[in-house]
Amino acid sequence: MEQLDKQYFPSLMLFFFRKGKSATQAKKKICATYGNDAVTERMCQKWFKKFRAGDTTLEDEDERSVPPVIADDNQIKTLIENNQRYTTQEIAEILHLSHTTVIEYLQELGYVNRFDLWVPHDLPEENLVDRISICDSLLKRNTNSPFLKRIVTGDETWIIYNNAVRKQSQGKCSIKLSTAPKAELHPQKAKLCIWWDWKGVIYYELLPKNVQLNSNKYCAQLDKLKEAIAEKRPELINRKGVLFHQDNAKPHICLITQKKILQLGWDVLPHPIYSPDVAPSNYYLFRSLQNFLNDKAFASLEDCKEHLQQFFAEKTPEYYAQGIMQLPIRWQKVIENKGCHIND
């Protein structure tokens, strides 16, 4: 993908201005294609005000005389590989880059945002083959000996305290849009760590923003999860056995965690790298959760917990079952797509 220059987004805004679109409409259309952080509504309003005054030059007064920032794209790639959930704003702050520069580098590197995770737009052949192979083996395994009701799946997502301005829309790359104002560089948020199965939520924790989820913390969570499974799903302990599903985030796959899972006696369900489209939390639970959170604002961590509990309690067992039972259909889609991501 070609690198964006500084006049690229303003030129798009000018195009939409001449088409009679509003700044809000232009913002939505640009973000639908280039990602939730491509431009802000405030930025679009500034340019539209300039255009309405008769000035259609595309040079930004605020950026004149500002020397370009040079970055190593390997730094951005390393950050993404360590944590696929970084936002473009967080990457910009960590590497001391401009927001626009981060977007340009991500596009050069070929990353797109799917289910709030950065993944390569064009997966390398080895990843495509891996996705096909794993999905095919899981399909055959489930056909020969159905195991979906043994799955306990887990993942993490950020819960933003102020969702009053977060409105989702689907772009051609399935990118969630956020109209959050640019001024809110450090939004109050907490990390939801949750494990569930076809019957419902088994265990979850809501971590304050300053609590790091490393391998030691994750292993401690797994110990608590084991206790919750014994209490809520004794049949998995007594007869069937837990089939544990997680993605390939570093705390999930490091040696310490592997030893812990072995100690717990759980079988691990294979999961291909860069595959949020076959992770039930990403393609199902977190989508519904964000729809529930939209237009809500929380005053505290406890307030946030109460709303989460309300969401989980309102969902029927049929809701959770539907999310898990979609897996064979999605595995089949990956095979039919020759390993490419499912766009939905």
CATH code of residue 91:
1.10.10
Same-domain status, 83 and 219: no
Banded pLDDT at 115 (limits 50, 70, 90): low
Domains in the chain, number: 3
Inter-residue contact 79 to 95 (CB < 8 Å): yes
Lowest model confidence (mean pLDDT) among 164-168, 175-179, 332-336: 175-179
Residue 151 lies in a domain: yes
Looking at the whole model, is its pTM more than 0.85? no
Q: Please tell me the distance from the alpha carbon of residue 162 to that of residue 142, in angstroms, as a whole number.
A: 41
Banded pLDDT at 72 (limits 50, 70, 90): low
Same-domain status, 234 and 130: yes
Q: Please tell me the distance from the alpha carbon of residue 52 to that of residue 29, in angstroms, as a whole number.
A: 20
Same-domain status, 151 and 293: yes
**Which of the two residues, 210 and 204, has the higher pLDDT score?**
204
Q: Please tell me the distance from the alpha carbon of residue 285 to that of residue 181, in angstroms, as a whole number.
A: 26
pLDDT of residue 178: 36
- pLDDT tens digits for 235-278? 998 777 999 999 988 889 899 999 999 999 999 999 999 899 99
Q: Please tell me the distance from the alpha carbon of residue 297 to that of residue 304, in angstroms, as a whole number.
A: 8
Q: Please tell me the distance from the alpha carbon of residue 287 to that of residue 95, in angstroms, as a whole number.
A: 30
Q: Please tell me the distance from the alpha carbon of residue 330 to that of residue 168, in angstroms, as a whole number.
A: 23
pLDDT of residue 71: 58
pLDDT of residue 145: 95
Same-domain status, 232 and 295: yes
Same-domain status, 103 and 244: no
Q: Helices 88-95 and 99-109, interaxial angle, to 10°?
A: 110
Same-domain status, 153 and 203: yes
pLDDT of residue 186: 61
Residue 239 lies in a domain: yes
Q: What CATH number does the domain containing 245 carry?
A: 3.30.420.10
Q: Looking at the predicted structure, is the pLDDT value of residue 311 above 80? A: yes
Same-domain status, 226 and 141: yes
| CA-CA-CA-CA dihedral for 252, 255, 258, 263, to nearest 10 | -130
Q: Averaged over 56-73, what is the pLDDT?
A: 57
Same-domain status, 39 and 98: no
Same-domain status, 82 and 213: no
- pLDDT tens digits for 267-292? 999 999 989 999 999 999 999 999 99
Q: Looking at the predicted structure, is the pLDDT value of residue 167 above 50? A: no
The encoded tokens of residue 2 equal 């070609």
Q: Output the average pLDDT for the chain.
A: 83
Domain that holds residue 200: 125-162+186-337
Q: Looking at the predicted structure, is the pLDDT value of residue 45 above 80? A: yes
